[in-house]
Protein backbone atom coordinates (compact mmCIF):
# COMPACT_ATOMS: atom_id res chain seq x y z
CA UNK A 1 0.00 0.00 0.00
CA UNK A 2 2.75 2.44 0.95
CA UNK A 3 4.60 1.61 -2.28
CA UNK A 4 1.47 2.46 -4.28
CA UNK A 5 1.11 5.84 -2.54
CA UNK A 6 4.78 6.63 -3.11
CA UNK A 7 4.45 5.68 -6.79
CA UNK A 8 1.36 7.90 -7.16
CA UNK A 9 3.15 10.85 -5.52
CA UNK A 10 6.14 10.33 -7.81
CA UNK A 11 3.83 10.25 -10.83
CA UNK A 12 2.10 13.47 -9.73
CA UNK A 13 5.48 15.13 -9.22
CA UNK A 14 6.40 14.31 -12.83
CA UNK A 15 3.01 14.85 -14.47
CA UNK A 16 1.61 17.51 -12.13
CA UNK A 17 -1.90 17.79 -10.74
CA UNK A 18 -4.90 17.15 -12.95
CA UNK A 19 -6.31 20.46 -14.12
CA UNK A 20 -9.72 20.97 -15.64
CA UNK A 21 -10.78 23.38 -18.35
CA UNK A 22 -10.66 27.10 -17.74
CA UNK A 23 -14.10 28.55 -17.14
CA UNK A 24 -13.88 32.26 -17.90
CA UNK A 25 -15.61 34.38 -15.28
CA UNK A 26 -16.46 38.07 -15.65
CA UNK A 27 -18.72 40.55 -13.91
CA UNK A 28 -20.80 43.38 -15.38
CA UNK A 29 -22.84 46.09 -13.74
CA UNK A 30 -23.32 49.84 -13.68
CA UNK A 31 -20.25 52.07 -13.46
CA UNK A 32 -22.17 54.59 -11.33
CA UNK A 33 -25.00 54.33 -8.83
CA UNK A 34 -26.76 56.55 -6.32
CA UNK A 35 -26.60 55.96 -2.56
CA UNK A 36 -29.57 54.00 -1.21
CA UNK A 37 -30.29 52.23 -4.50
CA UNK A 38 -30.18 48.57 -5.51
CA UNK A 39 -28.16 47.54 -8.54
CA UNK A 40 -27.80 44.18 -10.27
CA UNK A 41 -24.42 42.62 -10.87
CA UNK A 42 -24.23 40.00 -13.62
CA UNK A 43 -21.64 37.32 -12.92
CA UNK A 44 -20.94 35.56 -16.23
CA UNK A 45 -19.43 32.08 -16.57
CA UNK A 46 -18.24 31.06 -20.03
CA UNK A 47 -17.91 27.27 -20.03
CA UNK A 48 -15.84 25.78 -22.88
CA UNK A 49 -17.60 23.62 -25.45
CA UNK A 50 -17.67 19.95 -24.48
CA UNK A 51 -17.72 20.72 -20.75
CA UNK A 52 -20.32 21.52 -18.14
CA UNK A 53 -20.33 22.68 -14.52
CA UNK A 54 -22.64 21.30 -11.91
CA UNK A 55 -25.55 23.63 -11.14
CA UNK A 56 -26.17 25.31 -7.80
CA UNK A 57 -28.89 22.73 -7.06
CA UNK A 58 -26.88 19.46 -7.17
CA UNK A 59 -27.10 17.25 -4.07
CA UNK A 60 -24.07 16.12 -2.05
CA UNK A 61 -21.52 14.74 -2.64
CA UNK A 62 -21.58 16.72 -5.90
CA UNK A 63 -20.04 20.19 -5.89
CA UNK A 64 -22.51 22.98 -6.71
CA UNK A 65 -21.60 26.17 -8.52
CA UNK A 66 -21.67 29.06 -6.06
CA UNK A 67 -21.33 32.84 -6.24
CA UNK A 68 -20.30 34.84 -3.17
CA UNK A 69 -19.82 38.61 -3.14
CA UNK A 70 -17.20 40.40 -1.04
CA UNK A 71 -18.70 43.81 -0.41
CA UNK A 72 -17.62 47.16 0.98
CA UNK A 73 -18.87 48.01 4.46
CA UNK A 74 -22.63 48.61 4.58
CA UNK A 75 -23.37 47.13 1.15
CA UNK A 76 -25.82 44.19 1.17
CA UNK A 77 -26.06 41.36 -1.36
CA UNK A 78 -29.31 39.59 -2.14
CA UNK A 79 -29.57 35.93 -3.04
CA UNK A 80 -27.90 35.06 -6.38
CA UNK A 81 -30.43 34.28 -9.11
CA UNK A 82 -29.19 31.43 -11.29
CA UNK A 83 -30.68 30.57 -14.69
CA UNK A 84 -32.71 27.41 -15.08
CA UNK A 85 -30.20 24.54 -15.39
CA UNK A 86 -30.19 21.83 -18.05
CA UNK A 87 -30.55 18.18 -17.05
CA UNK A 88 -27.80 15.82 -18.09
CA UNK A 89 -26.02 12.58 -17.37
CA UNK A 90 -22.87 12.83 -15.28
CA UNK A 91 -21.14 10.00 -13.46
CA UNK A 92 -24.13 7.69 -13.90
CA UNK A 93 -26.52 10.24 -12.40
CA UNK A 94 -28.99 12.68 -13.88
CA UNK A 95 -28.01 16.10 -12.55
CA UNK A 96 -28.68 19.80 -13.04
CA UNK A 97 -25.89 21.26 -15.21
CA UNK A 98 -24.80 24.50 -16.81
CA UNK A 99 -23.20 24.68 -20.26
CA UNK A 100 -22.04 27.53 -22.49
CA UNK A 101 -22.72 31.06 -21.23
CA UNK A 102 -24.32 31.32 -17.79
CA UNK A 103 -25.40 34.62 -16.21
CA UNK A 104 -25.99 34.75 -12.45
CA UNK A 105 -27.74 37.94 -11.33
CA UNK A 106 -27.03 39.27 -7.84
CA UNK A 107 -28.87 42.28 -6.39
CA UNK A 108 -26.68 44.63 -4.35
CA UNK A 109 -28.09 47.38 -2.12
CA UNK A 110 -25.85 50.39 -1.67
CA UNK A 111 -26.08 52.12 1.72
CA UNK A 112 -27.38 55.68 1.87
CA UNK A 113 -24.11 56.77 3.47
CA UNK A 114 -21.88 55.42 0.67
CA UNK A 115 -19.89 57.85 -1.48
CA UNK A 116 -17.02 57.57 -3.92
CA UNK A 117 -15.32 54.57 -5.52
CA UNK A 118 -16.14 51.05 -4.35
CA UNK A 119 -15.04 47.56 -5.36
CA UNK A 120 -17.26 44.47 -5.31
CA UNK A 121 -15.54 41.10 -5.75
CA UNK A 122 -17.41 38.03 -6.99
CA UNK A 123 -15.94 34.70 -5.92
CA UNK A 124 -17.15 31.76 -8.01
CA UNK A 125 -16.64 28.10 -7.10
CA UNK A 126 -17.43 25.36 -9.62
CA UNK A 127 -16.56 21.86 -10.71
CA UNK A 128 -16.12 21.33 -14.43
CA UNK A 129 -16.76 17.95 -16.05
CA UNK A 130 -16.67 16.45 -19.52
CA UNK A 131 -18.53 13.42 -20.84
CA UNK A 132 -16.33 10.95 -18.96
CA UNK A 133 -14.90 12.64 -15.86
CA UNK A 134 -14.99 15.55 -13.45
CA UNK A 135 -12.00 17.71 -12.57
CA UNK A 136 -11.00 19.09 -9.16
CA UNK A 137 -13.12 22.01 -7.94
CA UNK A 138 -11.89 25.42 -9.04
CA UNK A 139 -12.36 29.02 -7.97
CA UNK A 140 -12.30 32.30 -9.85
CA UNK A 141 -12.43 35.85 -8.54
CA UNK A 142 -13.37 39.00 -10.45
CA UNK A 143 -13.85 42.57 -9.25
CA UNK A 144 -16.34 45.20 -10.38
CA UNK A 145 -15.60 48.87 -9.69
CA UNK A 146 -18.40 51.33 -9.16
CA UNK A 147 -18.63 54.99 -8.21
CA UNK A 148 -21.33 55.92 -5.74
CA UNK A 149 -22.58 59.48 -6.18
CA UNK A 150 -25.82 61.39 -5.95
CA UNK A 151 -27.53 61.72 -9.29
CA UNK A 152 -28.26 65.19 -10.61
**How confident is the model at residue 2, as a pLDDT?**
37
Spans of the chain, pLDDT less than 50 = 1-16
**How confident is the model at residue 10, as a pLDDT?**
34
What contacts 139, CB < 8 A, 6 or more positions away? 123, 124, 125, 126
For residues 62 and 54, the answer to whether their CB atoms sit within 8 Å is yes
**How confident is the model at residue 131, as a pLDDT?**
84
Sheet architecture: strand order including 138-148: 32-33, 138-148, 116-126, 66-70
CB contact burial 83-93 (16+ within 10 A = b; e otherwise) = eebeebebeee
**How confident is the model at residue 15, as a pLDDT?**
42
**How confident is the model at residue 7, as a pLDDT?**
34
**How confident is the model at residue 18, as a pLDDT?**
60
State the architecture of 20-148 in CATH terms: Sandwich (2.60)
Task: Quote the CA–CA distance of 129 and 120 in Å, as a whole number.
Answer: 29
**How confident is the model at residue 92, as a pLDDT?**
79
**How confident is the model at residue 8, as a pLDDT?**
33
The structure's pTM equals 0.84
**How confident is the model at residue 151, as a pLDDT?**
74
For residues 131 and 88, the answer to whether their CB atoms sit within 8 Å is no
For 109-141, the pLDDT digits (tens) are: 999 999 999 999 999 999 999 888 889 999 999
Q: Where are the domains of the chain?
A: 20-148
**How confident is the model at residue 17, as a pLDDT?**
55
Amino acid sequence: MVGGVVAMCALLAVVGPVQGPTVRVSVAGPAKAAPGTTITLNVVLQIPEGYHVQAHTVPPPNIPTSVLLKLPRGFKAGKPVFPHPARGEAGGQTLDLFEGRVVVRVPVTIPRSARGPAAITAEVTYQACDATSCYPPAEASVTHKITVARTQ
